[in-house]
Structures are given as C-alpha cells and as structure tokens.
Amino acid sequence: MMSDVLNPPQDNGATISVPLKPLGKVLAVTSGKGGVGKTFVSANLAAALAKRGHRVLVLDADLGLANLDVVLNLYPKVTLHDVFTGKAKLEDAIVRAPGGFSVLLAGSGMVEYSRLTPEVRDDFLRIMNGLVPHYDIVLLDTGAGISDVVLFAVSLASEVLVVATPEPTSLTDAYATIKVLVGQQKRQNIRMVINQTARLGDGRAITTQLQQVLDRFVKTEPGRPLRLIHMGDIPSDPAVRQAVMRRQLLMQSIPGCPAALAISQLAVKLEDTVIAQIK
Ligand SMILES: Nc1ncnc2c1ncn2[C@@H]1O[C@H](COP(=O)(O)OP(=O)(O)OP(=O)(O)O)[C@@H](O)[C@H]1O
Ligand SMILES: [Mg+2]
C-alpha cells in the first residue's frame, strides 16, 4: 500500500488517485457542491461523538480553503502546514476544540498543498498513519468536488459520508462525486446525510431517488452493487447560522435546537455502525 502511494502510476496530471487501501477508523465527510455543510457537520458531529465518550479527531483536510479554525474560533500557533514543512512535530499541531475533541487545523499556508504532488501524498499519509491509532474515529473535513486532493483525502478513509442538500445542483454534484468514488475507489457503501431539509422524511426520499439514478447509470463490478446508506436528515435551522456567526459549536450553544438534535441522532447511528464495526 505504501509503495502505491509513494510511487503512484504516472498520469498526465489531469486524472488522479489510485484506489488505496483505506486506513481504519477514518470517516471522510465530503460533498459534490461546496457550502452544503461539511464543516458544520464535521465539527458538531465530533462534539456529539466526544460527548458520548469517544476519542475524536477532526482533520481539516480542505487544504486549500481551510476554515474549521474560523468555525471553532481557534487560532493555533502550529498547523498542519508546519508539520508538512518539518517545522513542528505532529503532536504539537493537535489542539483541543471547545467540544471536547481534538483538531488538526490546516492553516492558511496550505495553498501550495491544494495540488496533489507526490510530496503531499507522502506527508498526508505519514500524518494519517501517525494519528489514527490514537483515536476512536478520525473525521476528515474535506473540500468539495472531485479534485485530486479531495479524492486522495477520501481514499484514506474507510468510510465516506456524503453531505448533500435537497437543491438540484447539490444532488447532481453529489451524483457526480459518488460516480467517481465508485469508479476510482471501488466504493461499495456510501453513507449519506441530507442537510438543510425542509420536511421530515425528505432526506430518505432523496437518497432513494439518488440510488435509483446511480443504479441506472453507474456501472459497478458484477456482484458488487453500490449501496447508499441513509444516515439521517438535518433540518434547515436558523440556529445553525446563529452559532456560526457567534463562532460557537451548535451542540454547545444551542443544543436543543432541531439541527443539534439531528446531529446527536447521526452520532448514535455512526456509533452503532462505523465505530462499533472497527473498534
Ligand atoms: N442545517 C442547516 N440549517 C441552516 N443553515 C445551515 C445548515 N447547514 C449549514 N448551514 C449554513 O451553511 C453554511 C455553510 O456551511 P459549511 O461551511 O459547513 O459548508 P461546507 O460544505 O463546509 O462549505 P465548503 O465547501 O466551503 O467547505 C453555514 O455557515 C451555515 O450558515
Ligand atoms: Mg468546509
């Protein structure tokens, strides 16, 4: 596996990631379209899981446009960037977030890492290998879309959670992302959370619809059908924006609101499935 990563097959730079053997206990939170709530879900889900007694780390894997620090109101002295450049040790870059979980923030110097070079792959993999044994679960808050760096980050995860909203643009982008994850990474199970739903049950209907479209148009290997696993809906809730404006976690500042309750349910579901499986 290591050699696959360090010596990826040559390509012309336009296409990317070889399918890698994913590490255990890593959940990539990703999406097709940007701005659908990945960072919000990652941070608050981490808080909900931490509250349930799990050791959780969130890694800001959105290397080019990291903003987990803004959401959590943290100003780390040491970032992933310093670890990548050898200026700091990995353990010094891990900070405690208000929600009782750990975070590894990318920092603003990461722009040069928004392109996937062999060095970035190497650094990223080394860091992940060092981190994973210390936590019950590592959440990767990735960027949106199907850039090579996003796909590489996702390839390091044993589980993928795709965040989508009911908007048609978000759904077509989610479809495109899932198609690539199936084709390139041979993913069989993809977990879905539908964020910003208007009515109860909307999310499940959307996941079912998306599954039908994928079944029709996305070729999978014989005997390895793709399965979307609906993990839950998070309602559209004005409290989310309020918490972001205050730069606080929703789970801490407005824990009883509908979106926070939905995140708690999502945490229980993840605990019963992903964490239970790999612990
Ligand atoms: N359930 C919700 N109800 C209301 N507003 C929401 C909800 N989820 C997210 N939002 C709004 O959407 C904004 C964007 O969310 P977030 O930054 O988590 O998206 P993202 O997918 O991480 O974006 P990017 O692709 O840029 O990383 C939030 O700041 C918040 O205002
Ligand atoms: Mg984000």
Domain residue limits, the chain: 24-278
Atom of ligand 1 nearest to the CA of 141: 22
Q: Is 240 in the pocket of ligand 1 (CB under 6 A)?
A: yes
Whole-prediction pTM value? 0.90
Give the confidence band of 17 by pLDDT, cuts at 50, 70, 90: very low
Q: What are phi and psi of 221, to 5 degrees?
A: -70, 150
Check whether 124 has a pLDDT greater than 90.
no
Least distant ligand from the CA of 173: 1
Pocket test for ligand 1, best of 244, 247, 249, 265 (most atoms within 8 A of CB): 244
pLDDT, tens only, 142-171: 989 998 889 999 999 999 999 999 999 999
With tokens 């012309």, the residue in question is 12
Mean pLDDT of 178-186: 95
- 105 or 8: whose pLDDT is higher? 105
Check whether 256 has a pLDDT greater than 80.
yes
| CATH architecture of residue range(s) 24-278 | 3-Layer(aba) Sandwich (3.40)
Phi-psi domain of 118 (left: phi exceeds 0; alpha: psi -120 through 50; beta: other): alpha
Q: Is 264 in the pocket of ligand 1 (CB under 6 A)?
A: no
Check whether 10 has a pLDDT greater than 90.
no
DSSP for 181-247 reads HHHHH---EEEEEEEEESSTTHHHHHHHHHHHHHHHH----TT---EEEEEEEEE--HHHHHHHHHT
Among the listed residues 117, 91, 119, the one whose alpha carbon sits nearest the alpha carbon of residue 104? 91
Q: Is 17 in the pocket of ligand 1 (CB under 6 A)?
A: no
Q: Is 170 in the pocket of ligand 1 (CB under 6 A)?
A: no
Q: Look at residue 9 in the predicted model and tell me its pLDDT.
A: 37
